[in-house]
A and B are shown apart, each in its own frame.
Chain A
Amino acid sequence: MDRRSFLSSMLFSAAMPRLGWADAGNPAYLAAAREADGAYALYGLGEDGAEIFRIPLPERGHAATAHPSAPEAVGFARRPGRFALVIDCVAGRETHRLHSPEGRHFYGHGAFVEDGAVLVTPENDIETGRGWLGLWARDEGYARIGEIPSGGVGPHDILRLDGDVLVVANGGIRTHPDRGREKLNLETMRPNLSYLTLRGGIEEQVELEPELHLASIRHLAQAEGVVGFAMQWQGDLPDNAPLLGLHRRGEAPVLCAADMAEQFAMEGYAGSVAMSGGQVAITSPRGGRVHVFGMDGQFRASLKRADVCGVAPAANGGLLVTDGMGGVLRIRGEAMRPAQSYDRAWDNHLIRVG
């Protein structure tokens, strides 16, 4: 360590008070966007969707992960991205840049465990197609400290549950960056939902019936001890395959679908999922609608909004959604009302802070 970095680390740890999300203006959400002039940025938004901060990004983002206590976010590049940015949301600047190891790429998602000391990143081992979870130590400047198998192919979203259990959506689809997002194994793909810990490895895996093996499990949400998983159908369209599942540990998953016409209208694609206040919602930018279900899996409402994709829980028990036209809308019960309208395109995911 040279003198300057020694001094700055001294300054940071001793002289500076520990910063929290309040110092970043208490954002309730993080979301990436493309701006009117074509530039990309990460935004912090308040409960009502109002802008709290804006930090430029070098490329299009996919999702972000918020540190549980420090005002720090990790922004991931779109699949098959090979970098992630650690962003100081108070200073509004990048503090670290993570590069996936040689032969690996990220999937656009990540999660913190161990009180925020370890960042976990789903990765593709490009040559074998095997899914891995990369481990990074925050206190060591996000040094790579290890990796464990994800339990499947194409690990996409990852969430931390109580007790530092991780749940991973192994989407099942093998890709190779040299061939873009081309899907190389559709006939044999077998997605799963895997529960694991860093020390104990896989604890439980959930696979759907063989006739649903084309339903790629991609995105996750949790509430009330239930994990919601959103899927993307890889077969011929139209198809009324379910795009949402609800899973409680140790039980069989409950699959959720609307009536046939509404199910077809989702175009086999759920982009994000969120749970809040006894509701679970999935978004379909292709179908231009949000489907709202009860926690019992019963379909409740179809709310139309073009290019809608981001969705996250709101503090009042409702949900907040974002779309590619800059809209931020609030869902309460079975109604959707606009909250904000910006001149920018919100990217796939809206991430709840804290």
Chain B
Amino acid sequence: MMRTSLAMRSLTITLALACGLSGMARAGVDEALSRHVLPGFGAFAESSAALAASAKEDCRAEALKPAYHAAYDAWMGVSHLHLGPLEQGGRALAIAFWPDTRGMVGRTVAGLVADADPVVDSAEDFADVSVAGRGLMALERLLYEPHLAGYGKGDYQCRLARAISVDLARMAREMDEEWPDFAGLLRSAGAPGNDVFLKPEEASQALYTALMSGLEFNRDQRLGRVMGSFERPRPNRAEARRSERSLRNVVLSLEALRDMARALADGPMEDSEAAFAQALERAEALDDPVLAGVATPQGRLKVEVLAQEIRRIEEAVAQEIGVALGVTAGFNSQDGD
């Protein structure tokens, strides 16, 4: 009798756990969409529209800088969401062409300016310009490169800055409009007729992958590229260093990723919280906007410690969120053969 009731109880617990897991997976997806993804794209659309409005009013560098920073800040809130709308039509690169391993942004912008290319006078035509000549990184050149930034209202650079801003606002608006439908596909993962997400876990997997890839991008690219090797640190590779956003981007991105992790976890995540707090504290204490400190061994060590702390976030998130959602990093994408 006693044994039966114990067995029954453990069966009940097992069932409750199983139900809890899939319920949690779905709750996490819902929360992440409604609390993080949709508001994030809304904010990016709004600040990009403000950038375009600012450029229409006055496209000179000094006038545009505040709106440029606001739009870039908002981009950091969603830049890790590499699924659905951001995956379409090369948008991710057209918004922020970085890392730029072959110096294409500088060359493309210089080419447009040298030719005074009239493509800037048509929004439709400008949307077909190389992704290296569009978006935040191209705009940064115009606003911060000394030989480009001194332009006046009648100069070509002014029209180019306006075209870039309008194009950015268009892409942000389109994504904001497309996301609700794509969110519907994520929410109905596994339902009949859903050809994109074939099982409920695929929605959690997609958001979890975006979270983990975002963390890895901060560690491996935003910090890793600057760190280079011990013998050869590469401060000139820092992201958006002309507008002194390199460290700011890491901080804002980590904050956005923490926001997403909290929504996806749908419950306490103590180790992840501690790891995020530690990394953010370290990043803010660096007080080195363009990560120039990597040029010295001590400075490089500080950035390396921050990178290690981001790795700790990845480990904690894998344990606390990945395991709970029943998802792991890609089986084939991690294999590589």
Contacts and interface: CB of A to CB of B under 8 A. Distances in A.
Q: Decide if A and B are genuine partners.
A: yes
A307 B198 contact: no
B155 interface: no
Given A306-B205, A326-B199, A327-B198, A260 B333 contact: no
B337 A348 contact: yes
Contacts of B99: 238
B259 interface: no
B172 to A, nearest CB: 17
Contacts of A218: 337
Contact of A306 (B131, B206, B337): B206
B87 interface: yes
Interface string A74-114: 00001100000000000000000000000000001000000
B94 interface: yes
Contacts of A304: 87
Nearest to A78: B337
B285 to A, nearest CB: 30
Nearest to B130: A260
Interface string B91-105: 011100001010000
B191 to A, nearest CB: 12
A345 B331 contact: yes
Contact of B333 (A324, A341, A346, A347): A324
B201 interface: yes
A155 interface: no
A27 interface: no
Interface string B128-164: 0011100000000000000000000000000000000
B336 A325 contact: no
Given A306-B209, A325-B202, A338-B195, A262 B90 contact: yes
Interface residues of A, number: 41
B337 A341 contact: no
Which among B130, B132, B330 has the greatest number of chain A C-beta atoms within 10 A?
B330
Contacts of B130: 260
Contacts of B195: 337-338
Contacts of B131: 260-261
A325 B333 contact: no
B93 A306 contact: no
Contacts of A327: 198, 202
Nearest to A62: B337
Contact of A324 (B87, B199, B332): B332
Contacts of A286: 330, 333, 336
Given A78-B337, A325-B202, A348 B101 contact: no
Interface of B: 87, 89-90, 92-94, 99, 101, 130-132, 195, 198-199, 201-202, 205-206, 209, 330-333, 335-337
13 contacts: A181-B336, A260-B130, A264-B93, A285-B330, A304-B87, A306-B209, A307-B331, A307-B332, A309-B332, A325-B201, A341-B199, A346-B332, A348-B335
Interface of A: 34, 62, 78-79, 108, 181, 218, 232, 236-239, 259-262, 264-265, 269, 271, 285-286, 288, 304, 306-309, 323-327, 337-338, 341, 343, 345-348
